[in-house]
Structure 1
Amino acid sequence: MEKMGAFKAWANLVAYTVAVVVTGAPSVMASLGIVPVVLMSLLFCSIAYWSGMQYFHLRMKYPGICNLEDAGYLLYGPVGRELFGLSQLLFSIFLQGSHVILGSKALATLGWHDDCFLALGAVFAIMSWICNIPRDYAKLGGLAGVAFLSICSAIVFTMIVSGIEGPQVPAGAIIMKNIRAFGPSQPEGITATAALLQVTNLFLSFGSHTAFLPVLFEMKNPAQFPKVLRGLIAVNFLIYVATGVVIYATLGRYVVTPAFDSLPARFAQIAYGIALPTIIIAGCESGQIAAKQVFVRIFRSRPHHMTTNTLLGWGTWLSINAVTWGLAWLLASLIPFFPQFLGLEASLLWVMFIAYGALFFAHLNPAALLNWRAYWHHIAAAVVTVLVCAFICVAGTYASARSIAGELGGHHLVDTSLNLALADLYRLGEVAGVFSCARAAGAA
């Protein structure tokens, strides 16, 4: 196994975190206002950093830990291993599924056999499987660097085009961007449920916690991880806020998610083409986590299959990746509504990985409460982390469930796909059916 330096560690984490989801920032600002989004981004970044540092401290004290499954076993024995491991595996495969959905949309926009989304999803899953062949993060790091340049280029392109072309409205229509520092841009307002969905999606945009332990395990010098983490959080915050402010300022209430879809068709096609490497590699970063977890569990007692090129080792690795991407395609075919899927995913699973930081702190500092004067800032951070995660879990799950159940009101809000009930989305053709070859109306 080839070890990697700090730069490749940073590149892998950035590719995992700074994906096409950041282009949803303008829509979030159009729903909540610029100032609330910036303040919440600062809060979520602070929580992600503190929690990430607890992952680092746990790994430094127990160098043999290579994933959340190991951390769960350390803290709570066999039950913890299964709970932590299952949450990491499910989340990673679900995230792969969301990339299949977005990837099929990108391929359709580019004109790839766009009459059958089911086939496009399969094509994208195969492309992702091929890119997931490297077993080491050191080898994946080069692709991760390409992915970062890809999304940055796509964002800059979208900023320029949105500034030149402006909002896409019918000829002769009066443009009212209604850019707001606080509150929604739409005159009709936004429901509390829709606002909660936007907050949940915002929360999902920060942190790469499922990747922290695997990346730490493959670093040449894990002591450099705090520097990597600071770089990750800083870049994540700056790109998210800059993307949101600039594109929201040029398009106002007319922006949609992803922001590429706010551009004229010919420019949207170019934007998706530029961002395609990011869509693929960001999904591969999730695939690496899922496959490596299963791979390590199978060969932990026979490590030579992990560290050398054996037929059994490579055959198993390729097979595991084929299974995870096959499951991802299955999920994408069963759940072809990206925003609701992402919100539910964040509410049920993502919050767990952030909150695990508080558990790690408690394990590493069992006497913290007795010596609270020395640890008061960490105790306060742990409490805030748990409270925010609990709120996102309950509120986000509630909002996502209402959206999926068809109880989310309001048909004139900022982003149709976020604010219409799922039943209405099917009726209006905004979402394709389960295992349907038909393309959703809003897909490209």
Structure 2
Amino acid sequence: MAVSAVGDKPYTVAYNGSGSKPSEDDAGDVFGREDHHDIKYKKLSWPLVAILMIAEIVSNGMLSLPSSLAVVGMVPGLVIIVFLGVFATYTSWLLVKFKLRHPEEHTMGDAGYILFGPIGREVMAFGTCCFAIFACGGQLLAGQISLAALSDNKLCLMLYTGIFAIPTLLCSLPRTFHGLSWISVASVLSIFIAGILGMAAAGISPDPTRSVDVTVASDFYTAFVSITNPVFAYAGHFMFFVLMSEMKEPKHAMRAAYTLQSFATVFYAIFAGVTYGYVGSHVASPSFSSLPPYWQKVSYGIALPNILLAGSLYAHTASKLVFVRIFRHSKHLHSHTFLGWGVWVALVFLTNGLAFLLAVGVPIFNYLIGISASLFAAWFTYGIAGMFWLHDSYHDGPGFFAWRRQWAQAALAIATILSGAFSCVAGLYVTIRGIVDAYASGQIPSPFTC
């Protein structure tokens, strides 16, 4: 037996060594039995979870991948994209197994408590909120770029961000992910169709002066700056636990993860390779900006629903973490109470408001997204998964002897941790150096300017 705790109440979870989860009737289940509740959270099927994951991860981040290929070359770039997709599938499997063993955990913060105690809970909960809010701000900026392209930059950029922030906030308001799930179908279709059209437009009007290289020699700083794009294009694992907590059958979560990673890896590789092949080494980031004006508008316009919902999912996740933390053991979690809805709406306004203020008020906000991704997403997507396996295998068996008995899996878990550490440190290095270089060259604008 092992004791873990979330919030102020401890839960006892039995380890059976098989990777199966305890009964959903167990008191540790984050939402418990919902038969007679007004608000039911556990309504998601695995296909809907897969669609929500795709809507969140396969978003505007993919538009930076062709520029990564331009820096490192076609072959290394595609190898990195495919490798990271396979690696993200493996870490997804570790996260899902950990959640099934610990149904009481709702977020990475709860997982942090299981691994490291109260300090781990606060650090990882903060990291989840921080990255979610910064990611929401990143989607607002993507919406700004899209609206500016559609209207030929007729308004102040800050106004475009504010216009896009309003529907993002409204889509964040449903209390459950199920309330967002069907909207996400349109979101996935929009980014898929936009990607297809973007590739077709690049093929119709290829750059006649383009250069496409199989490999490109570059220094570590330049290469890793480009590699961070595919590294963080898969950075959606911090939402796995939250989504699994709202599934009708969490045991089917890997079906959703396999669907997500298969779609993302294949689509990323095809989109990056085709776009780079037709546009060449001068491809912009986001890559739609390299298309002819007409096709640029069409592609951005079709992609807007995806950018919108992805931002809403990030804001919803940050709000949900705090809301469940406050009301986990009260009637306000499952009932239509004035206090419950008041706090929920306030949290949604707060998270979206912070994302907007950061996006328009911090001149180095794009770099701060990189810092938050390096500090938190690198661990949530890659490194922390290895710690989950080491923790549970240690408690399942005779401590360190369990690692020795499963030495290959233990070595892979340690390698996963080291990869997360490398991504974190290297990502911080290139981002901070980028900030220094940008200030030195006068590229940083003033806050709240067009």
Distance (Å, rounded) in 1 between the aligned partners of 2:412 and 2:313: 28
**Which runs of 5 or more residues in structure 1 are unaligned?**
168-174, 185-189, 407-420, 439-444
The secondary structure found in structure 1 opposite 2:155 is coil
Q: Does 1:179 align with 2:212?
A: yes
What is the CA deviation profile of residues 109-131 of structure 1, one whole-angstrom value per residue up to 9, with x for unaligned ones? 22287431222222222211101
Q: What residue ranges of structure 2 are gaps of 5+ in the alignment? A: 1-39
Cα distance in 2 for partners of 1:39, 1:292 equals 36
Rounded Cα–Cα distance in structure 2 between residues aligned with 1:258 and 1:27? 8
Give deviations 1:51-103, integer Å, cap 9, x for gaps: 22222122211212111121122222221211111111111111111111111
Residue number among 314, 318, 321 corresponding to 2:341 in the alignment: 314
C-alpha distance in structure 2 between counterparts of 1:274 and 1:16, whole Å: 16
Specify whether residues 343 and 292 from structure 1 end up closer, same or farther in structure 2 by C-alpha distance, changes over 3 A only.
same
Asked if the contact 2:390–2:410 (Cα under 8 Å) also holds between the matched residues in 1, the reply is no
What is residue 152 of structure 1 aligned with on the other side?
A: 192
- Structure 1 partner of 2:56: 16
- Of 221, 228, 238, the match for 2:256: 228
Structure 1 stretch 386-395 or stretch 249-258: which is displaced more?
A: 386-395
Are the structure 2 counterparts of residues 350 and 116 from structure 1 closer, same or farther at C-alpha, using a change threshold of 3 Å? same
C-alpha displacement of 1:248: 0.9
What is the alpha-carbon distance in structure 2 between the residues aligned to residue 37 and residue 238 of structure 1? 13
Q: Does the aligned pair in 2 maintain the 1:98–1:332 contact within 8 Å?
A: yes
Match of 2:401, SS?
coil
* Counterpart Cα distance in 2 of 1:231 and 1:79: 34
Please name the residue that 2:4 is paired with. none
- CA gap of 1:229–1:390, structure 2 versus 1, over 3 A, is same
Contact 2:390–2:403 (Cα < 8 Å) also in 1 = no
Query: Which residue number corresponds to residue 81 of structure 1?
Result: 121
1:286-435 equivalences under 5 Å are: 286-302=314-330, 304-336=331-363, 340-353=367-380, 354-366=382-394, 367=398, 369-372=400-403, 374-406=405-437, 421-424=438-441, 426=443, 432-435=445-448
2: CA distance between counterparts of 1:257 and 1:360?
35
The amino acid that maps onto 2:284 is: V
1:258 aligned residue: 286
| 8 A Cα contact 1:114 1:120, kept in partner | no
Q: What is the distance in 2 between the residues matched to 1:332 and 1:355?
A: 28
**TM-score normalised by the chain length of structure 1:** 0.87
Cα pair 2:387 2:417 within 8 Å, conserved: no
Cα contact 1:109–1:272 (8 A) shared by 2 = yes
Residue of structure 2 equivalent to 1:208: 236
Task: Name the residue aligned to 1:411.
Answer: none
What letter matches 1:46 in structure 2? V
Question: Residues 239 and 270 of structure 1: is their aligned pair in 2 closer, same or farther, counting only changes over 3 Å?
Answer: same
Task: Work out whether residues 201 and 343 of structure 1, in 8 Å CA contact, stay in contact via their aligned partners in 2.
Answer: no
Provide the secondary structure at the position in 1 that maps to 2:229.
helix
**2:303 aligned to 275, 278, 301, which one?**
275
Give the SS at the match of 1:135.
Answer: coil
Distance in structure 2 (CA, Å) of the matches to 1:110 and 1:422: 30
**Matched residues, number:** 406
Q: CA deviation digits over 1:381-413, x for unaligned, max 9?
A: 21221222222212221111111101xxxxxxx
Using the aligned pairs only, state the percent identity.
31
Q: Give distance in 2, aligned partners of 1:280 and 1:374.
A: 48
Against the structure 1 CA distance between its residues 45 and 425, is the aligned structure 2 distance closer, same or farther, given a 3 Å change threshold?
A: farther
The residue that corresponds to 1:412 in the other structure is none
Shift of 1:289: 1.1
1:162-173 alignment runs, 5 A limit = 162-167=202-207
Cα pair distance change 1:377/1:176, threshold 3 Å: farther
Give the root-mean-square deviation of aligned CA atoms.
Answer: 1.9
Q: CA deviation at 1:341?
A: 4.2
1:265, 1:113 → 2: CA distance?
A: 12
What is the Cα deviation at residue 135 of structure 1? 1.4
Code of the aligned partner of 2:283: V
- How do residues 85-104 of structure 1 correspond to structure 2 at under 5 angstroms? 85-104=125-144
Aligned mate of 2:182, from 132, 135, 142 = 142
Q: Distance in 1 between matches of 2:238 and 2:418?
A: 20
Q: Say which of 133, 145, 149 aligns to 1:105.
A: 145
Report the residue type matching 2:182 in the other structure. G
Check conservation: 1:23, 1:257, Cα contact below 8 A.
yes
TM-score, scaled relative to structure 2: 0.86
Shift in Å, 1:423? 4.5
Q: Distance in 1 between matches of 2:387 and 2:403?
A: 17
